[in-house]
Copies of this chain bind each other. A is one copy, B any other.
Amino acid sequence: MDNINIKKLAKELNISTSTVSRAFNGSPDINKDTKEKILAFAREHNFLPNHYASNLRDKKSKTIAVIVPEIANDFFAQAINGIEEIARKKGFYILLYRTDDIFEKEVSFVNYLNNGKVDGIIMSVSGEASDHNYLRKLEQKNVPVVFFDRVYEDIEAAKVTTNDYDSSFAATEHLIDTGCHKIAYLAVNKSISIGKVRMQGYVDALQKHHIAFDDELVIDCSNDEKENYAILKKVLEEIKPDGIFSSVERLAFATYYVCNDIGIDIPKDLKVISFSSLHIAPLLCPPLSTITQPAFEMGSKAASLLFEELEKKGMYIQKKEHVLKSKLFIRKSSGG
């Protein structure tokens, strides 16, 4: 069925062409099961009625908004590149916004967008506030949203994440295997879902290996470099962990700086592993063990999903979570 059209599709499914049309134009006047059957068949055969294929041409702004907590960070920079590559192919441009992890900035920017400035939004959220009505308003205006990496659980949208729980579990288990008994977990954003999931992987791996969970070893860090340095110095001098599992890259860097300054030898005295997309992790002193998310791929997947939504207006889009896999790179910092 190379050249499928509405007529052939109707014949194939043994229904009328007008029913098929109703399925595509989002008419409420159609049985739900029939509609899903038609759209599933269409998806399977990569069929888009001309009407929908031309949807993109009708978009006026030719712009998508990308909202991220930070830019000067390898993960987000690579993800933005991934988004941009797809957008470029579609003839779209990127309106970039950085929230600095501040929820109010996110709300203010989303509200600003709510008037046709952009055709869609890709975002990695700033924090877990309970009121996400500013995002629901977008739905009413047909501005689709795709989340990546940091998502809001209560908002129905396509989401691109990684296997954070499994990665955290594996990284913690790796530190235990190398002989660590007192592993500190460095956290920010414990309240958002990604923070919870990563922490749970750590907690469960400890439990599996009969190491008691110690609240004192969960270190709450901030967005301020100097503050983090002071916090970590205190932890390394007073609590003296033998392993560090950092849930974000910059806390691993802060750990390195403290260790350099107070003479702690990595990996002899302290083993370190971190979530990080730093491409020069092998060049650090010592080379940093990382859980590396496929940042570029996550960006391009998020953009692809957004364009699917933009192109198939009126079609039933699966708003599900797409989970890509991170990779564990064991290097010298954790005794590898």
Q: Which residues of chain A have a CB within 8 Å of any CB of chain B?
A: 63, 71-74, 77-78, 80-81, 84, 93-98, 109, 112, 253, 256-257, 260, 279-280, 282-287
Q: How far is the CB of A120 from chain B (nearest CB, A)?
A: 15
Residues of B within 8 A of A71 (CB): 71, 77, 80-81, 84
Contact present for A257 and B285 (CB under 8 Å)? no
Which residues of chain B have C-beta atoms less than 8 A from A73's C-beta? 77
List chain B residues, Cβ under 8 A from A256: 280, 283
CB <8 Å contact, B81 and A98: yes
Residues of B within 8 A of A282 (CB): 257, 260
Which of chain B's residues have a CB closer than 8 A to the CB of A81?
71-72, 98
Report the minimal beta-carbon distance from A73 to chain B, rounded to whole angstroms. 8
Q: Which residues of B contact A257 (CB under 8 A)?
A: 282-283
CB-nearest residue of chain B to A286 = B285
Number of copies: 2
Give Cα A78 to B72, complex, Å. Answer: 6
- Set B74, B98, B285: member contacting A285, Cβ < 8 A: B285
16 contacts between A and B (CB under 8 A): A71-B77, A71-B80, A71-B81, A71-B84, A72-B74, A80-B96, A81-B98, A84-B96, A84-B98, A93-B95, A253-B280, A256-B280, A280-B284, A283-B285, A284-B285, A285-B285
A77: chain B residues within 8 A (beta carbon): 71-73, 77
Closest to A249 in B: B280
Chain B: minimal CB distance from A201 (Å)? 26
- Supposing A72-B77, A80-B71, A253-B283 touch, asked if A97 and B97 sit within 8 A by C-beta, the answer is no
Residue of B nearest to A94 (CB): B96
Contact of A112 among B74, B84, B93, B285 (CB under 8 A): B93
Extra contacts besides A95-B96, A253-B280, A260-B283 (8): CB < 8 Å: A71-B84, A77-B77, A80-B96, A81-B98, A93-B97, A93-B109, A280-B284, A285-B285
Please measure, in the bound complex, the distance between the C-alpha atom of A159 and the C-alpha atom of B257, giving whole angstroms: 36
- Contacts of A95 on B, CB cut-off 8 Å? 63, 93-96
Most buried by B among A72, A73, A282, A286: A72
> Which residue in chain B gives the minimum CB-CB distance to A256?
B283
**Residue from A63, A96, A286 whose CB has the most chain B CB atoms within 10 Å:** A96
Once bound together, how far apart are the Cα atoms of A303 and B281, in whole Å? 33
Give chain B nearest CB distance to A283 CB in angstroms. Answer: 5
B284 touching A287 by the CB < 8 A rule?
no
Q: In the complex, what distance in Å separates the CA atom of A287 from the CA atom of B257?
A: 12
Contacts of A93 in B (CB 8 A): 95, 97, 109, 112
For the complex, give the distance between the alpha carbons of A77 and B78 in Å: 11
User: In the complex the two chains form, what is the Cα distance from A159 to B52 in whole Å?
Assistant: 45
The smallest beta-carbon distance between A329 and chain B, in angstroms, is 15
Most buried by B among A279, A283, A286: A283
